[in-house]
Amino acid sequence: MSLHIQMIGTGSAFAKNYYNTSALVRSDNATILIDCGFNTPRSLHELGITPDQIDGIAISHIHADHIGGLEEIAFRLLYQHNKKKTKLFLTDTLAGVLWENTLKGGMYNPEEGFYCLDDYFDVILLEERQPSTIASDLTIEFIPTLHILRKASYSLFINNQTFYSADIRFSEELLLHEVVKHRNCHTILHDCQLSGRGAIHATLEELLTLPEDVQKRIYLMHYDDKMPDYIGKTGHMSFIKQHQLLKLSE
């Protein structure tokens, strides 16, 4: 079984050089997009990937840099690919606010019979902290993590071996105990605010406090345009680059 992850974008919400952070998880039997920000469709286009080649999209939370490209994907599937739907994996907590607070304004179209999220996507609601089989060789698990107070946000475990933070405040307990000690994840993809106070994201300064053996598992993503200034200053952690393909298992 072969499992890879390819970064479609690696930038923060305000980055202009690296596109919104999102990733394609590729197993032998499925291709799943994690998040779909407003410039994710452009990055997919640069890679020659069309919406109908994606088997599903997993949504971590509803900030625009993580869901702003969903309208384009849905409309292209509808009008360019013979009304083909793709699967949309998310929790029930996110599904309602995604439609009512974000997508409905542009996608509600009763004249053509489009009233809700299910009219555009094959919506699959996943339970928190329950590994869900996406394909015979791929599972994902949503775990609630803290990003913005009183707003639902999730990180993902992929095949219980890879941790994908999406957007999260620094949590030493989560990383050391659940991610490393309990699950022994060999790969950690973690968002990283390079400077300043970590109000809603883990900072590089905070991540550098982690033990060396944990740092060696971490690839940094969701960084700003000053990333080149920090090369060589990330301890034992590495920056993952836009469009980079990373092997997770053979």
The angle formed by the CA atoms of residues 112, 97 and 150, to the nearest 5 degrees, is 175
* Model pLDDT, residue 250: 58
Q: How many other CB atoms are there within 10 angstroms of residue 106's CB atom?
A: 12
What six digits make up the tokens of 55?
């088997």
Measure the CA–CA gap between 209 and 49, rounded to whole angstroms. Answer: 38
Domain containing residue 142: CATH number: 3.60.15.10
pTM higher than the cut 0.95: yes
**pLDDT at 137 (0 to 100):** 95
Q: Please say whether the beta carbons of 53 and 31 come within 8 A.
A: yes
* Contact between residue 154 and residue 183 where contact means Cβ atoms under 8 Å apart: no
Domain residues for the domain of 213 are 3-249
The residues annotated with a catalytic role in the active site are 71, 108
Q: How many domains does the chain have?
A: 1
Least confident piece of the model among 55-59, 111-115, 197-201, 227-231: 197-201
pLDDT score, position 239:
98
Selection from 198, 249, 247, 243 nearest residue 17 by Cα: 243
Split at pLDDT 50, 70, 90, the class of 198 is: confident
What integer pLDDT is reported at residue 95 of this predicted model? 97
pLDDT at position 90 is 98
Which own/partner contact pairs does 99-107 have at CB distance under 8 Å and 24+ positions apart? 101/62, 102/62, 102/64, 102/67, 103/67, 103/70, 103/71, 106/71, 107/71, 107/74, 107/75
Residue 51, pLDDT score: 96
Q: Which one-letter amino acid corresponds to residue 111?
A: E
Tell me the β-bridge partners of 34. 23, 58
